[in-house]
């Protein structure tokens, strides 16, 4: 696993081994960022919720994000994220929070331009957390929400004021991209 593009292109990313750790593959990450570019999405201030290895947030930093907040409750994963940030030279624009995702929604105070959600496939809480994020104070008019999930998870087309604008599928991995419907605030 490596950083695909930008300042840290080619840097290897580590990940903790374990049955519940499923890093986003290079292929899927590349497809996500191609889709975001085609939608003219900004990722200046990014939140990587359920960060795991931090691969999505690190890719955003490498491609020009001004700041990324990583939220992960697993202490081993938090250590790996910090190591990956240091190794790729991107640590100065990142913060790593060891928090449960729902607690992070209540704790963090920024508005993000891009929010990545990658809950464990076995969790099946993608719908709930997507709805919680869409109605939280972390979103604004320019926010894009990206949910990585299993094909088995059935999602609604609309959560709060956010509607699906693009879907991707690679094997069992699906990616759903949500943006504010009709320019509402």
Q: What is the pLDDT of residues 85-111, one digit of tens each?
A: 999 999 999 999 999 999 999 999 999
Q: Is the pLDDT of residue 184 over 90?
A: no
What's the pLDDT tens digit per position in 149-163? 988 888 889 999 999
Q: What are the tens digits of pLDDT across the range 9-55?
A: 988 888 777 656 677 788 999 999 999 999 999 989 999 999 999 99
pLDDT band at 185 (very low <50, low <70, confident <90, very high): very low
Please report, to the nearest 10 degrees, the dihedral formed by the alpha carbons of residues 63, 69, 71, 75 taken in order: 90
Query: Buried (b) or exposed (e) across 55-66, using 16+ Cβ within 10 A?
Result: bbbbbbbbbebe
- Please enumerate, as own/partner, the contacts of 6-9 that have beta carbons within 8 Å and a separation of 24 or more: 6/59, 6/61, 6/62, 6/63, 6/64, 7/61, 7/62, 7/63, 7/64, 7/89, 7/90, 8/58, 8/61, 8/62, 8/88, 8/89, 8/90, 9/62
Does residue 70 contact residue 51 with C-beta atoms inside 8 Å? yes
Name 148's Cβ contacts closer than 8 Å, sequence gap at least 6.
24, 28, 32, 116, 117, 118, 173, 174, 175
3-state secondary structure (DSSP) of residue 183? helix
Sketch out the chain's domains with CATH numbers. Answer: 26-183 (3.40.50.150)
């Amino acid at each position: 696993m490596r950083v695909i593009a930008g300042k840290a292109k080619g840097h290897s990313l580590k990940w903790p081994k374990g049955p519940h750790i499923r890093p986003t593959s290079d292929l899927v990450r590349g497809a996500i960022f191609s889709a975001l570019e085609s939608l003219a999405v900004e990722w200046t201030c990014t939140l990587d919720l359920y960060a795991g290895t931090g691969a999505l947030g690190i890719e955003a930093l490498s491609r020009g994000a001004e700041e990324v907040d990583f939220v992960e409750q697993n202490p081993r994963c938090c250590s790996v994220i910090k190591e990956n940030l240091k190794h790729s030279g991107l640590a100065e624009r990142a913060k790593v929070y060891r928090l449960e995702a729902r607690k992070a929604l209540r704790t963090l105070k920024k508005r993000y331009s891009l929010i990545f959600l990658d809950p464990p496939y076995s969790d099946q809480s993608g719908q709930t957390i997507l709805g919680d994020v869409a109605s939280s104070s972390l979103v604004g008019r320019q926010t894009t929400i990206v949910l990585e999930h299993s094909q088995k998870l059935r999602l609604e087309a609309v959560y709060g004021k956010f509607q699906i604008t693009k879907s991707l599928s690679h094997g069992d991995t699906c990616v759903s991209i949500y943006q504010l419907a009709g320019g509402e605030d």
